[in-house]
Amino acid sequence: MSSAARRALVTGASSGIGEATARLLARSGYRVALLARRTAALETIGSEIERAGGQAPLILTCDLTDHTQVESCMAELAEEFGGLDLLVNNAGIGYRARVEELEQTNLQRVFDTNVLGLLWMCKAALPQLRKGVRPVVVNIASVVGRRGIPGQAAYAASKAAVCSIGEALRLEWAQDGIHVSTLNPALTATGFFEAQHNPAGLSDPDTSTAAASIDVAQHVLQLDDRPIPERCLRWKWRLLAVLSVLRPRIADRLLARRLGGGWSPPKV
């Protein structure tokens, strides 16, 4: 199947990486479904995609933490698309706080959205992916899913779960010919935690910078063309992840030096 006929669903498509990915896929000839909680934002993006010459996107308003909404949206997609060739699990929430400062409500939202929401979407999308041609799933995780950093234990744990889900799905779905890739943007690449106005430390992918979002979107397009198990977008983070396994104390010292701000590993 040519890219002109490929059917894609992008979650968290109302802003940031999701929006950039949806726009890029549409420009590349994909038929795109946009899924997020904010209907007005999705409709605006959809109208702009049409005016730019793309096919009219399918607008799906959905809270991923509600599995009944997820199933309803997938039923609508099945009726409109008749199958799915690319699923981009991008929707997510960030949470920056020391463990001693964690708040139950915010912590629950992070895991409900980043982990359970992704799992619900994968489960609901599977029948449509089985109908797809060379189906591909790209899960947007994070470099901190492979190497946690201070002040982001909750977010890092949620993204580590996304990495583990990808590893499991690669084997579970291989017999169906479904490729599963994990994409790990670097925090400095996406600007994900740049919003300082939120005292609770809870942030949305809206804070991703435009240029960095486009960069991540281009990697999504590449992974759909040639899926690989996992891609980390910054070599220093790849090295840090390896060091964290082989030489964790060295990795701690390097990271503490990079972060500054009084972070330092205990002396042994």
Q: Determine the Cα–Cα distance for residues 50 and 63; give it in Å rounded to an integer.
A: 25
β-strand pairing of 7-11 with 179-184 = unpaired
Q: Determine the Cα–Cα distance for residues 34 and 45; give it in Å rounded to an integer.
A: 9
CA distances from 3 to 20, 29, 30 (A): 17, 6, 6
Q: Determine the Cα–Cα distance for residues 197 and 200; give it in Å rounded to an integer.
A: 9
Among candidates 229, 260, 43, which has minimal Cα distance to 139?
Answer: 229
Among candidates 36, 158, 50, which has minimal Cα distance to 96?
Answer: 158
155 classed as catalytic: yes
Please check whether residue 41 is in contact with residue 14, taking contact to mean a CB–CB distance below 8 angstroms: yes
User: Tokens for 176?
Assistant: 């169906």
Q: Determine the Cα–Cα distance for residues 111 and 117; give it in Å rounded to an integer.
A: 8
Mention every residue, 6+ apart, whose C-beta is less than 8 A from residue 225.
3
Helix (H) or strand (E) holding 139: strand 136-140
Please check whether residue 14 is in contact with residue 34, taking contact to mean a CB–CB distance below 8 angstroms: yes
Q: Which of 120, 155, 192, 193 is catalytic?
A: 155
User: Tokens for 135?
Assistant: 């189906």
Among candidates 34, 134, 185, 256, which has minimal Cα distance to 24?
Answer: 34
Q: Which residues are catalytic?
A: 155
